[in-house]
Structure 1
Amino acid sequence: MDMLLGIYGFIHDERLPQRTAPQKVNIEVEREKKWVKMLAHWDTPETKQKLHRRIYKGIPNSLRINTWCKLLQVNRIKFENPGKYQDMLKLGKLWSTDVRQIDSDVNRQFREHQFYRERYSEKQCALFNVLCAYSIYNSEVGYCQGMSGLAGVLLMYMDEEDAFWALAILLSDKRYAMHGLFIEGFPKLTRFLEHHDKILTKFMPKLKHHFDKFGLDAILYSLKWFFVCFVERVPFSLCLRVWDIYLLDGERVITAMAYTILKLHKKAIMKLNDMDLIVNYIQVKLHKDFGYDDDIVIYHLEKSMEELRRAKLDYPGPPPPNELPQRMLGVFVEPDKKSKIGQRAENFSETEKQTRANVILRREKAALELQELRVSQSDTVSVLPPVVV
């Protein structure tokens, strides 16, 4: 069967839907004209007044590169750091202890996309370079699996250096503060999982009870929601819409979208009486077919944000100091002996030990509750497979 290329560059082995109707194309052309005008007058009061409404309607795909760069202020940080990316890349290729893992992950990332399909293609090499440079730029994080997904999406719309600085902003700027997701102990993940549980307990207690009944902890279905902003968990067109809004409004969008997904699919999930079926539905089925038009999902996302705001649950709170960079970014630190031979640090702070323990405890509790449930449903005790995170 012939391979077919979709609008976002992904390769399909099935017949694509019919082309967009001429009337809708004309509407998109008019939207692009408005966006071009708005981008040319970005800092004016008129643009600030219109920006929120237009971003929630969706950024024209042809203009995402310009809009994302402006939302992230990429040009400003590039101007303030001339030559820094090239310096970090040179040091990364000489000193980074993560190059093998980066190369392995790059080889797996978005292989169904035209940019990354061929090994050592231009974009694959760019993705490697961005991650290699960043592993030196932020010595606390280095490289962590999941970052390749973020950088991979950015490189679909930006050149290499812009994508590097966009990634740097996503991790270090307090609006997004992804640094806390990727450092040892994953403190931000623990905090967001706890906040997610609070939302479910308050607004969807029956669904929360259903999850608890089958030992389904949020960590088993939500990692890519929090780590890579729903990449490969919802259709890519919807993922881009969520990214548009996330770059505008920050962390609140992640918690609200997680709530929205479960709210829209609550009835279907409640009918599933097995942990594996529920996880497969949330992680796989919804990625292939979300079941709702993108505009409808965004409408419900906005309503969810309002609902959570009224309940004072829209925001888990500002990142504590341990979730933010503690070392100066962009200053080369020669890897210590343990890093060079691939050993991870053993001397964690008390806070890091506690956050690591919290994640492990959540996983073990989910496995234990599932085992107790199955034992109670059977006359004989069977050996259960381990819960895989």
Structure 2
Amino acid sequence: MNEEELLKRSAAERDRIFSCYDRGREGAEIDPWEDPGYEVYHATDRYGFIHDKRLPQKRDAFEVKLHHVEMERLKKWEKMTKQWDSASTKEKLRRRIYKGIPNRFRGQVWALLLGIKNLKKEQAGKYEEMLQLARQWSTEIRQIDADVARQYRDHINYRERYSIKQKSMFYVLAAYSMYNMEVGYCQGMSVLAGLLLLYMDEEDAFWGLSVLLADQKYSMHGFYVDGFPKLNRFIEHHDKIMNKFLPKLKRKMDKCGCDSILYALKWFFVVFQERTPVSLGLRIWDIFLLDGDRILPTMAYTIMKLHKRYLIPMESLDEFCNYLQIKLEKDFCFDDDTVISTMERSMEDLKRAKLDYPGAPLPHELPRYPFGTFQEPTFTSKVGRRSEEFSEAQHVMRESVAQRRDMTLIDDGRESTTPVEPTSGLGGSKFSFDPSLDEGASPNGSRRSLAETSVTSTADLSVFSSATRSQVLDNSLDTQSNISNASSGSGGLPTPRATPHQPSPDVVRIYVPYTSPTYTSSTVASYKDDLPRTLPRSLDTNKIRIRIDPDQTPIVENLKPFTLESPEVELDLK
């Protein structure tokens, strides 16, 4: 297929996806998982999120009290919003936001905190211009479409495929991919856009997203730009806090291979809107819009401090991951007011230790080009191809992760250990940071969707894998060609892959990231002990190829240490 045919095919797919959202539900081909049935009565909470079990018919005493307190605050908030610039409002604003913005005023207060009204006036017509450019040029449409289909699946407004809010989320993200072409689109942005759209209209949400990435108070551009420089800096700062205030817990987690990135990535990427209860996530978001990104490390430390007694007894990576990635969202163990008051005390503790803020954004975390200026995408971007080599920024991030791991091993007094990668295989994506959730294969991922990685996004989460970029592409199992058809119901032909790959359904490739030592009878006898291992720069010489009967589930028992006598070994599992 020549270049002209590739460009036509890519443009046709973009037009087809846009047409699905333009038409909406009328005549759309929707897969069953995209439009599941659900009960509304006694199944939807006050925020619009749907629960698997029926909610109690009556509120308990604590909920009644919270409702009463919120109703008492409504008059105060109504007065404040009408006198937003008054001295009285400025004096009371911080205290009242920390107590919680009443849900019915959230959209109005968020818009005021973000300065959306003035921005819309200054940039009149810009949103429509960017959306029109996206229809013609955006290279992120396939991934946006896939993420919109699975974002906030447990919310009544996003439950139906091509619903009004799903359409708005798609348009906002498509337009922003042209407004900020340095970032384009990165997974995680769909969480922010979806949250804003719960309380705002489409254009307000677009400008709200713009402020969050551009304003230095929030500086989320650095989280999503190539190489994730701000994420790296905040993770390192979190480690400093843990070593200072929770050293015993930090050593325990390091010993079990639980790197901070396994749990803190989603906290920072989406401002605690995932892996926390909905009500608490909204309270944190209220404060974030007031105080900016300085609350992120404080909140992360607060969570670890509150749950220290539950985490310390844990003995494995699985236990830590299950607790921090799954359990906390279902049962946080503390009410919202307790968490917020603890966070305020934590802020004071961190200020005294001069660890309250990682510092202002660094130059490479800030936008380099003016927003809203169009630059025609490259040919490789247009057809969905991705470089087989990591960029310089991505190499920096990978080296930082590896360096933290190596320092952990040195501090722990061991020569080396099996590297615990913050990734796991995931259908429809490259890697997941959540080893307990296969969200790509589960379309009902509800609020949890960041783990999936964009094939076409500028910001690529595969930088956290120890595999080379070519191995990442080889293991993607043709996500380039399958993602639209499998996850969006948009139909039509897929955009061609960057590299030829014909995955076999009965082959699993396992990359063994260590060089095995020479064994004696004594070492084999004690194979359960830690083995000295070193991480090679390239994994090409440590491959095992296992052929599996697709109709059988393989079972491996009595696994003992072994050395690889040849680069590739085939094992028949019977």
Q: TM-score, normalized by length of structure 2?
A: 0.63
Question: Aligned runs of 1:254-293 on 2, under 5 Å?
Answer: 254-293=296-335
Task: Give the alignment partner of residue 376 of structure 1, picking from 508, 529, 539.
Answer: 529
The alpha carbon displacement at 1:24 in A equals: 4.8
Deviation digits for residues 242-270 of structure 1 (CA, Å, limit 9, x no counterpart): 00000100111110000000000011011
Larger Rg, first or second structure (1 or 2): 2
Deviation digits for residues 97-152 of structure 1 (CA, Å, limit 9, x no counterpart): 01000000000101110011000000000000010000000010000111111111
The alpha carbon displacement at 1:364 in A equals: 8.3
**Corresponding residue SS for 1:104:** helix
The question of 1:15 aligning with 2:57 is answered: no
CA contact (8 A) 1:74 1:162 kept: yes
Tell me, which stretches of 5 or more residues in structure 2 are unaligned? 1-37, 410-414, 421-526, 532-558, 564-574
CA contact (8 A) 1:85 1:161 kept: yes
1:279 and 1:179 map into 2 onto residues whose CA distance is: 27
Question: Aligned runs of 1:1-389 on 2, under 5 Å?
Answer: 2-3=39-40, 4-17=43-56, 18-19=58-59, 24-344=66-386, 350=392, 353-359=395-401, 362=404, 371=418, 376-377=529-530, 380-381=560-561
1:230 and 1:323 map into 2 onto residues whose CA distance is: 21
2:220 and 2:210 map into 1 onto residues whose CA distance is: 9
CA contact (8 A) 1:237 1:294 kept: yes
1:135 and 1:107 map into 2 onto residues whose CA distance is: 18
The alpha carbon displacement at 1:182 in A equals: 0.7
2:419 and 2:347 map into 1 onto residues whose CA distance is: 36
The alpha carbon displacement at 1:309 in A equals: 1.1
CA contact (8 A) 1:219 1:363 kept: no
2:267 and 2:65 map into 1 onto residues whose CA distance is: 35
| Distance change in 2, residues 1:260/1:23 (3 Å) | closer
Deviation digits for residues 62-110 of structure 1 (CA, Å, limit 9, x no counterpart): 0000000011111111111000001001111211001000000000101
**Corresponding residue SS for 2:418:** helix
Give, as a single letter, the amino acid of the residue that structure 2 aligns with 1:246: F
1:49 and 1:153 map into 2 onto residues whose CA distance is: 28
- With 7-16 and 53-62 compared, the bigger mean Cα shift is at 7-16
**Corresponding residue SS for 1:325:** coil
Point out the structure with the larger helix share.
Answer: 1
The alpha carbon displacement at 1:376 in A equals: 3.0
1:206 and 1:382 map into 2 onto residues whose CA distance is: 34
Give, as a single letter, the amino acid of the residue that structure 2 aligns with 1:252: R
CA contact (8 A) 2:226 2:393 kept: no
The alpha carbon displacement at 1:360 in A equals: 5.4
| Distance change in 2, residues 1:326/1:200 (3 Å) | same
Give, as a single letter, the amino acid of the residue that structure 2 aligns with 1:270: I
2:391 and 2:361 map into 1 onto residues whose CA distance is: 18
The alpha carbon displacement at 1:358 in A equals: 2.0
- With 87-96 and 372-381 compared, the bigger mean Cα shift is at 372-381
The alpha carbon displacement at 1:33 in A equals: 0.5
Q: TM-score, normalized by length of structure 1?
A: 0.92
Tell me, which stretches of 5 or more residues in structure 1 are unaligned? 384-389
1:218 and 1:16 map into 2 onto residues whose CA distance is: 34
1:307 and 1:199 map into 2 onto residues whose CA distance is: 10
Give, as a single letter, the amino acid of the residue that structure 2 aligns with 1:381: P
The alpha carbon displacement at 1:201 in A equals: 0.3
**Corresponding residue SS for 1:329:** coil
| Distance change in 2, residues 1:20/1:33 (3 Å) | farther
Q: How many residues align?
A: 383
Give, as a single letter, the amino acid of the residue that structure 1 aligns with 2:221: H
2:271 and 2:115 map into 1 onto residues whose CA distance is: 19
2:289 and 2:99 map into 1 onto residues whose CA distance is: 14
1:80 and 1:95 map into 2 onto residues whose CA distance is: 25
**Corresponding residue SS for 1:12:** coil
Give, as a single letter, the amino acid of the residue that structure 2 aligns with 1:376: D
CA contact (8 A) 2:417 2:530 kept: no
1:355 and 1:16 map into 2 onto residues whose CA distance is: 44
**Corresponding residue SS for 2:289:** helix
CA contact (8 A) 1:233 1:287 kept: yes
Computed over aligned residues only, the root mean square deviation of the Cα atoms, in angstroms, reads 2.4
Give, as a single letter, the amino acid of the residue that structure 1 aligns with 2:326: V
2:343 and 2:118 map into 1 onto residues whose CA distance is: 30
Give, as a single letter, the amino acid of the residue that structure 1 aligns with 2:209: L
The alpha carbon displacement at 1:345 in A equals: 5.5
CA contact (8 A) 1:58 1:241 kept: yes
